[in-house]
Structure 1
Amino acid sequence: MLTFIGLGLFDAQDISLKGLRAVQSADLVYLEFYTSYLMGTTIEEMETLYGKPIIRLMREDVEQNPDWLENAKNQNIVFLTGGDTMASTTHVDLRIRAKDMGIETKLIHGASITSAVFGLSGLQNYRFGKSVSIPFPYTSSRGNRVVTETPYDTIKFNQENGLHTLVFLDIHNEHGYMTVREGLSLLLEVEEKRQEGVMKNRIAVGIARAGSDDVSVIADFAENLDSFELGNPLQILIIPGNLHFIEAEALVKLAGAPDSLLSDFSD
């Protein structure tokens, strides 16, 4: 048996009671922290709270050589992830591999940032379009700095359909955790290059440390980069599309957006 368990948003205590019981009854407990990370805890703290040793897997152990799956043929194995257990395509692929090997699988879900952002921002979940990730710039074979324009294109497409865009920010071994301010700066860099108005006079919403007692939610115009000093990671970005009055009011009252955001709704 292979049980996938989502750990929730921030620390070791976010695991569900059902998930905790499954961990405590497992023969082996594996964990991956490269698709997401619980910033409010350590593996040592998790081991103490859960009462089980935890084996941390690297990316190649999950995506390329998941030899550890063999253990699930005759043992009770748990696989832990941050957020919800099936939020990443990598985890879906792993479950399919297990099924192909004749291994029974089970899911125990956890809170996910993809749902937490709705409550934190006040934006309505059915008004979101396709999400996208902003990677750190990279150096081409010719030595040029390259900023990907895919996030800009996704935001543009969603805007054309009146939809909000959830923008995930890169986690990189070398560069660390991308901030909302860095992500916005890259989008504005593409705007400067293409001059298509996607980010011009556009409200952005930055969220940091969702699930913690120190959560921060800030809304302001994207050009006002200094407003988005949100502190410690993890951070995530939303670029709203067309706003309903309740959404605009929520951004003003809950996230500190400029009062002018409500002017479009005044009589």
Structure 2
Amino acid sequence: MLYIIGLGLGDEKDITLKGLDAVKRCEKVYIESYTSLLSFGISSDGLSTLEKLYGKPITVADREMVEEKADSFLSEALGSDVAFLVVGDPFGATTHTDLVVRAKTLGVDVKVVHNASVMNAIGICGLQLYRYGETVSIPFFTESWRPDSFYEKIQRNRNLGLHTLCLLDIRVKEPTLESLCRGRKQYEPPRFMTINTAIEQLLEVEQKHGESDTGAI
């Protein structure tokens, strides 16, 4: 059995009782580390905090492991209980939906334990959840790659009188372009987009379009 368990948005105590019970019965526990992070990160201290509460050793599942080597822990779930921990809710990222599909293809039974995610916790800002349009992701710009499709979606939401939730880029264990060309992976330092960077990029795209829709931010 593969248990995909949401951890919520705060710290190790945000796991649900149902999720904690599932973790304690699992033989192996993995935590996904690249679509989002807990408030204390996933340093050795952070992992030890989780391991102390859960009573289990935890293996960090980075992007490479989840996207390219998932069959290794999915195979383990064919003969034993395996927990896959996700910050927020399990279906807050398409990566985890894909994981369920792959597990089903291999004949692995899957149980999902939901939790709070930014998709509903954003209500704390005072804006009505029913008034949100399509959520967008804002990626880091590079010298040669400056996509702006997210801006068009913000415009569309604004024209409909809707708010927009903007998810800011997290880049953890991203291979450098040079290393990919050489066939030997080397990784960029971890980067986490700030609100200021997101606004600077939105303003750049706005100038490119020659419009004024920053009120949608």
State the TM-score, normalized to the length of structure 2. 0.86
**Equivalent residue letter for 1:63:** E
Q: Aligned partner of 1:55: which letter?
A: T
Please give the residue correspondences for 1:19-98 in structure 2 after superposition, counting only pairs within 5 Å: 19-40=19-40, 42-66=46-70, 67-98=72-103
Instruction: Quote the residue 1:138 is aligned against.
Output: 142
2-side partners of 1:168 and 1:71: how far apart? Answer: 33
| Structure 1 segments (4+ residues) deviating >2 Å | none
Work out whether residues 12 and 40 of structure 1, in 8 Å CA contact, stay in contact via their aligned partners in 2. Answer: no
2:50 alignment partner, SS class? helix
**Structure whose alpha-carbon radius of gyration is higher:** 1
Q: Which has the higher helix share?
A: 2
* Corresponding residue of 2:132: 128
- Shift in CA distance, 123/65, structure 1 to aligned 2, threshold 3 Å: same
What does residue 103 of structure 1 align with? 108
Q: Measure, in 2, the Cα distance between the counterparts of 1:99 and 1:190.
A: 41
Gaps of 5+ in 1: 141-145, 204-238, 240-267
CA RMSD of aligned residues (A): 1.3
Question: Once the 2 structures are TM-superposed, how far is the Cα of residue 40 of structure 1 from its aligned partner?
Answer: 2.9
Contact 1:29 1:80 in 2 (8 A): yes
Q: Tell me the distance in 2 between the aligned counterparts of 1:14 and 1:156.
A: 35
Tell whether 2:181 aligns with 1:181. Answer: no
Larger fraction in strand: 1
CA distance in 2, matches of 1:158, 1:14: 32
Q: Which moved more, 1:188-197 or 1:45-54?
A: 188-197
For residue 175 of structure 1, report the CA deviation from its aligned partner: 5.6
Percent identity of equivalent pairs: 44
Q: Which structure has more RCO (C-alpha within 8 Å, separation ≥ 6)? A: 2
CA distance in 2: counterparts of 1:180 and 1:115, whole angstroms: 19
Which amino acid is 2:116 matched to?
A: A
Q: Match for 1:180: what amino acid? A: I
User: For 2:203 and 2:99, how far apart are their aligned partners in 1?
Assistant: 37
- For 1:184 and 1:69, the matched residues in 2 are separated by 40
Structure 2 gap segments, 5+ residues each: 173-188
Alpha-carbon distance, 1:139 to partner: 2.5
